[in-house]
Structure 1
Amino acid sequence: MTQWDSAELDKLSTAEELDLESGRGDGTLRAPVTVWVVRAGDRLYVRSVKGREGPWYRGTQSHRQGRIAAGGVRQEVTFHEADPGEYADVDAAYRTKYGRYTSIVHHVLTDRARASTLRLEPR
């Protein structure tokens, strides 16, 4: 696993949202989607509200590589399925960062959304 540069990690994790482009098999990137991003320890995570059926999540599964951009950082990444043992820390990070959005934060805390938790690793 490649480690994040601490300055980039800080910028990406404090950004309200990030743009995520997943890669296709031919090396091109899909159109960017805007998603919430959280940090748990020294790792970054994203989730699909629609779970594994969500279009952008499905796009990450074909090639497992892409690009993210937020906070002035643009980084090529790989998408790794998070282990269920990571879910509690990711849940806590979502509650802490986005808890002020009380009417919508619960959507990323469902079992369906948890199953789509991806860890973003720089490449």
Structure 2
Amino acid sequence: MAAWDPAVLASIAASDDLKISPFREDGTTYGTPTWIWSVVVDDALYVRAYNGRRSRWYRAAMAQGAGRIHAAGRVIDVTFVDAAGEDDAAIDAAYRAKYADSPYLPPMVSARTREATVRIAPIA
């Protein structure tokens, strides 16, 4: 798995515009970009599915393992890895810090969304 360029990761971390597009079942067509919250923890980019593992984009990301994101003015080809249980406390803290003023925060740090945590990495 490739590492993020620190400048690119910092720009994604500072923005609130990430859209995720996992491949469709054919493995070549990108899905419709879906806006989603993102956080950075220890040089890794994470997202969570608001509706948990039932979320359409989450199921596609786990089935296909790749796609692209639109973030911080860039389009980046990426891989998706199931990160459930991967440093939940730090990821929760990052969500609380970045989205503290949102009424949607409590569900994003719930057991349902923790189970649908995804680590996103650029394709080298």
Same fold, TM-score > 0.5, yes or no: yes
Map of 1:61 onto structure 2: 62
Map of 2:11 onto structure 1: 11
Which residues of 2 match residues 1-123 of structure 1 at below 5 A? 1-26=1-26, 27-101=28-102, 103-123=103-123
TM-score by length of structure 1 reads 0.94
Match of 1:16, SS?
coil
Structure 1 consecutive aligned stretches of length 4 or more whose deviation exceeds 4 Å: none
Point out where structure 1 has 5 or more consecutive residues left out of the alignment. none
Superposed CA RMSD in Å reads 1.1
Q: Deviations over 1:41-76 (max 9, x none)?
A: 100000011100111111112211010011112110
Point out where structure 2 has 5 or more consecutive residues left out of the alignment. none
Whole-Å Cα distance in 2 between the matches of residues 95 and 38 of structure 1? 10
Q: Are the aligned partners of 2:25 and 2:60 in contact in 1 as well (CA < 8 Å)? A: no
TM-score by length of structure 2 reads 0.93
% identical equivalent positions? 36
Higher helix fraction: Structure 1 or Structure 2?
A: 1
One-letter amino acid of the counterpart of residue 38, structure 2:
V
Q: Which segment is superposed worse, 44-53 or 22-31?
A: 22-31
Count of matched residue positions in the alignment of Structure 1 and Structure 2: 122
